[in-house]
Structure 1
Amino acid sequence: MKILATGLALAIGVAVGAAWAQDPYPAPKPLQASAQAPIKSFKGSKEAHIAYMPPATEFNYYIAIGEGIKKEAAKRGIDTFLLAPQSGADINGQMGMLQDVITRGVDAIILSTHDEHAAAPLVKRAVDAGIAVVIVNSDIPDFPAPVHAVVGYSQRKGTHKLGEYALKLTGGKPMIVGILEGQPGYHSTERVGGFLDAIKGSNFKVVASLDGKWNVEGGNAAAMDMLQAHPDIQLIFAANDYEIMGAAQAAKALGRTDLLLFGNDGDTGAGLEQIAAGNVTATVDTTPFVMGQIALAITADILDNKYPGGWVETPTQIVDKNNVIEILRHPETLYPMPSKAY
């Protein structure tokens, strides 16, 4: 196993992809003791059967992570499959699927959930059954049941960088701000919290904060409500790219061409191509395809008894009109593929 030092915030997406071609991942950081499952003597990754379980199939972002998992699994001769409900709001559906996968007796589960507390009892059952459990797309250091690894970007750090970018972009002048949260949970708290921490004490004033439900429709409805109630809003930050895409649609319907719109994720269609088209100002690109590759590599190392435990931080970068085209010109690190050649 080849481990590099942390600090992989690279300049552009192609650099992130090039770094992964060398098959590294950053050194793990310890989880809280109560959240770290013992690294048992697993039977090895050869011919392993691994379930990737995102919270929903409605979001391309999670499919992008899955495509990274598939690519890395194919290199290693590992069998993987994806199982998830269609809607990210279907927590009960995901829990039922998780229970089914545990019963099947897979070798490992790569899990992302919108409700870690609902998942915790089933995660404990999986770990007790000798199944390796890796939480992906998170940086939660104290998952409410012991897990073998956590893989993902620092959510609060990523959106803090975006808040700093917004302050620099506006020159620190007074701005009226609206916030589109995700559905209540760790991910929303961290992403919104990072942005709010960055603008604290500045001339930015938050006048509305609504749940955008993690999707385009929810972001559109919430943004429409807040813009009609507060027509003086000049900037909207959303907890993911789908919500900010919805906000862009609301802004267009209201004839608001003056808004600054900030997202989070680095989704190809809802984020990167919206920036290229001039509909969205900037986003935090969390490189989901590369995240999936790293998650599978770590899962294999757990099964091969080579992983010490802990959280591995995956890279992020701010994307705006100045670097988005270069990223879109390298579709090998993106999923889905861009809608056209750039």
Structure 2
Amino acid sequence: MKTIIAAAVLAASATVAGAENYPTPVPLKDGSQAPMSTIKPVNDTYRIAYMPPATEFNYYIAIGAGIEAVAEEKGVEVFMLAPQSGADINGQMGMIQDVLTQEVDAIIFGTHDEFAAAPLLKKAVDKGVAVLMINSDIPNFPTPIHGVVGYSQRNGTHAMADWLIEEHGGEALTIGVIEGQPGYHSTERVGGFLDGIKGQENFNVVTSVDGKWNVEGGNTAGMDILQAHPDINAIFAANDYMIIGASFAAKALGKRELILMGNDGDTSGLEEIVAGNVTATVNTTPFLMGKAAMHATLDAIAGTYPGGWIETPTSIDTSDEALNALKQPEKLFPQPSKEY
């Protein structure tokens, strides 16, 4: 399917107003930076593949909408190619192999299995394709790539832990954790949260299970942990879809007073917060992330991007912040289900 897919990004120390004026990239670890001189565009009108892990996640479609907005503005072609399921690693690898047979100038990718993707992306770099990773802060991808665009995953969820301590630090909390499928993203997000609550003697994490990154998996995980540990009064999940699923489980079991924390800032997650079904999320502004990634990709092709990691913004959103975000639908994808 062919789609024609500047961001105002918040650096660690400054707000950047211009869409194309992303923060100065942070160098990747030694050996992880592909030379920018290897990029050799082959099309007069640049042709760029956006390859997220799956189409089942609106989060990645929101990133794609940001990419599309810049592509349309700049007159370049972007097509999206991804498996339906985030668990379909083999499907994604087959799609990357297919793209390698095409005349593309850049690949913007995200993956749930960096080690499976690495050999194929090495081939892309060797062919002269610009390769940038999206929705990550990984400093040492298993093969050298040209750039990484995303938020600090561990810092984002550590901030969620800080919020939990500030709001509920005086309470005795029994906590369940819902992980994503094993990989860098799950390790960093769960690790940041657990590091953040370390030392809180009245916080007790009793279980951590795989929610498979989706609503169904979060529902199953939430049901399992709430039935196995009926005293749980807080759940942290590594993305919004899983915490939404866990909220369905909580409602089915009649548990109304749980603290439910997610990560992403997906439109549906923000709406669930405003509705009172989820408590808070790490809002990672996926639409703006996509815009930043596309500007960096075009700069990489043009030879003006030095490589490295571009940090994009996060915030902890509870009801007030989520409502404010929903009142700015031009920065969201998909659009909210109603006007706020």
TM-score w.r.t. structure 2 length? 0.95
Q: Give the equivalent residue in structure 2 for 1:225.
A: 224
Q: Give the equivalent residue in structure 2 for 1:116.
A: 114
Q: Give the equivalent residue in structure 2 for 1:84.
A: 82
Counterparts in 2 of 1:56 and 1:20: CA distance versus 1, 3 Å: farther
Q: Give the equivalent residue in structure 2 for 1:15.
A: none
Distance 1:321 1:3 in 2: 23
Provide, for residues 86-106 of structure 1, a one-character-per-residue CA deviation record: whole Å limited to 9, x for no partner.
000000000000010011131
Shift of 1:34: 1.2
| DSSP 3-state at the match of 2:319 | coil
Distance 2:192 2:52 in 1: 23
Shift of 1:174: 1.8
Shift of 1:325: 1.2
Counterparts in 2 of 1:82 and 1:50: CA distance versus 1, 3 Å: same
Distance 2:82 2:286 in 1: 17
> Which consecutive residues of structure 1, in runs of 5 or more, have no partner in the other structure?
11-18
| 1:251-290 equivalences in 2 (<5 Å) | 251-269=250-268, 271-290=269-288
In the alignment, is the contact (CA less than 8 A) between 1:8 and 1:314 conserved in 2?
no
Distance 2:287 2:275 in 1: 22
Distance 2:213 2:132 in 1: 23
Shift of 1:23: 2.9
Q: Give the equivalent residue in structure 2 for 1:16.
A: none
Q: Give the equivalent residue in structure 1 for 2:29.
A: 32
Q: Give the equivalent residue in structure 1 for 2:243.
A: 244
Q: Give the equivalent residue in structure 2 for 1:14.
A: none
Determine which of 188, 191, 214 is the counterpart of 1:190: 188
In the alignment, is the contact (CA less than 8 A) between 2:9 and 2:17 conserved in 1?
no
Shift of 1:6: 2.8
Counterparts in 2 of 1:137 and 1:22: CA distance versus 1, 3 Å: closer
In the alignment, is the contact (CA less than 8 A) between 2:38 and 2:126 conserved in 1?
no
In the alignment, is the contact (CA less than 8 A) between 1:63 and 1:335 conserved in 2?
yes
Aligned sequence identity (%):
61
Q: Give the equivalent residue in structure 2 for 1:178.
A: 176
The count of corresponding residues between Structure 1 and Structure 2 is 333
Q: Give the equivalent residue in structure 1 for 2:71.
A: 73
Name the aligned partner's letter for residue 23 of structure 1: E
Counterparts in 2 of 1:328 and 1:2: CA distance versus 1, 3 Å: closer
Distance 1:26 1:112 in 2: 21
In the alignment, is the contact (CA less than 8 A) between 1:43 and 1:304 conserved in 2?
no
> Which consecutive residues of structure 2, in runs of 5 or more, have no partner in the other structure?
1-5
| DSSP 3-state at the match of 2:178 | strand
Distance 2:146 2:154 in 1: 22
Distance 2:14 2:137 in 1: 15
Distance 1:149 1:72 in 2: 18
In the alignment, is the contact (CA less than 8 A) between 1:46 and 1:78 conserved in 2?
no
Distance 1:7 1:103 in 2: 39
Supply the RMSD in Å over aligned alpha carbons.
1.8
Distance 1:184 1:42 in 2: 32
Provide, for residues 95-142 of structure 1, a one-character-per-residue CA deviation record: whole Å limited to 9, x for no partner.
000010011131100000000000000010100011110000000000
Provide, for residues 135-187 of structure 1, a one-character-per-residue CA deviation record: whole Å limited to 9, x for no partner.
00000000000000000000000000001001111133221000000000000
Distance 1:235 1:4 in 2: 31
In the alignment, is the contact (CA less than 8 A) between 1:8 and 1:315 conserved in 2?
no
Shift of 1:24: 1.6
Q: Give the equivalent residue in structure 1 for 2:3.
A: none
Distance 2:123 2:241 in 1: 33
| 1:122-137 equivalences in 2 (<5 Å) | 122-137=120-135
| DSSP 3-state at the match of 1:323 | helix
Shift of 1:264: 0.1
Determine which of 42, 47, 54 is the counterpart of 1:56: 54
In the alignment, is the contact (CA less than 8 A) between 1:20 and 1:290 conserved in 2?
no
Distance 2:276 2:156 in 1: 22
TM-score w.r.t. structure 1 length? 0.94
Counterparts in 2 of 1:341 and 1:113: CA distance versus 1, 3 Å: same
Shift of 1:7: 2.0
Shift of 1:2: 11
Determine which of 5, 12, 16 is the counterpart of 1:7: 12
Distance 2:68 2:176 in 1: 38
Counterparts in 2 of 1:118 and 1:43: CA distance versus 1, 3 Å: closer
